[in-house]
A = this chain, B = another copy of it.
Amino acid sequence: MARVKKELDFSLILAALSRHVDLNAEEQACFCAYLSHRSLKNKELLQREGEVADSTFFVTRGCLRSYSTDEQGLEHVVQFAPPGWWIAELYSVISKRPGTTNIDALEASEVLVMKRSDQEKLFIELPKIERYFRIITENSLVSSRQRIIDSMTLSALERYQAFCKRYPGLIFSLPQKQIASYIGVTPEFFSKMKARF
């Protein structure tokens, strides 16, 4: 069977862009020209701790996560990225130094890849793209700060409830272990907590 290069599906990413900036057809084409595509198998690693990251990823299918590993080998989930979400090792992308977190696929997934060097060209060529990223970065910062507050003020059960609100739909498709890791408890405690309702 001949290998046929598929048309990339930009509909999801263009819809995401249009929520914050208006691009005409030409600008959309310009933006998409910088994207490439990558398929990931379940558990496939997209970014390994210690390596320099040069790309940001937009998930179109499946689900990714970023996580850090502590000195005991335990994993701690920083972010989940279902379709329509961006994910990156931003520290490494910005600083061009080795990253401290990993990104992998929790199931078979597909992503669009934007290299930082291309992103920076786009920032100059199309200021609306810089605006788009400025806005979604602001929104991410708000979420991230809220999670810090939650970790200081909420019990494990309340953090679980907050998780259910932030990622509705993920609750049933993710292993409990991953959810436990995100809210910052052990799988054992998470299980007992659920049993107590």
Q: Which residues does A use to contact B, with CB under 8 Å?
A: 68, 70, 74, 76, 78, 90-91, 94, 100-101, 123, 127, 130-131, 133-134, 137-142, 144-149, 151-153, 184
Work out how many copies of this chain go into the complex.
2
A152 and B101 form a contact (CB under 8 A): no
| B134 and A130 within 8 A (CB) | yes
> Chain B contacts of A68 at CB under 8 A?
149, 153
Query: Smallest Cβ distance from A69 to chain B, in angstroms?
Result: 9
8 smallest CB-CB distances across A and B, nearest first, come from: A134-B134, A144-B144, A70-B153, A76-B152, A137-B137, A91-B142, A141-B141, A127-B127
List, in ascending order, chain B residues with CB within 8 A of A100's CB.
146, 149
Known pairs A127-B130, A145-B144; A151 contacts B184 (CB<8 A): yes
What's the Cα separation between A157 and B33 when bound, in Å? 49
Q: How far is the CB of A37 from chain B (nearest CB, A)?
A: 25
What are 19 pairs between A and B in contact, CB < 8 Å? A68-B153, A76-B149, A78-B145, A78-B148, A90-B141, A91-B146, A123-B134, A127-B127, A133-B134, A134-B137, A137-B137, A137-B141, A140-B141, A141-B144, A147-B148, A148-B151, A151-B151, A151-B152, A152-B184
Task: Tell me the minimal C-beta distance from A173 to chain B in angstroms.
Answer: 23
Contacting pair B90 A145 (CB below 8 A): yes
| A92 nearest CB neighbor, chain B only | B142
Which residues of the partner chain B approach A94 to less than 8 Å between Cβ atoms?
138-139, 142
A89 CB → nearest B CB, Å: 10
| Given pairs A91-B145, A101-B149, 9 additional interface contacts (CB within 8 A) | A68-B149, A76-B149, A90-B145, A91-B146, A100-B149, A123-B131, A130-B131, A137-B141, A141-B141
Complex Cα–Cα for A90 and B138 (A): 8
Which residues from chain B contact A145 at a C-beta distance below 8 Å? 78, 90-91, 144
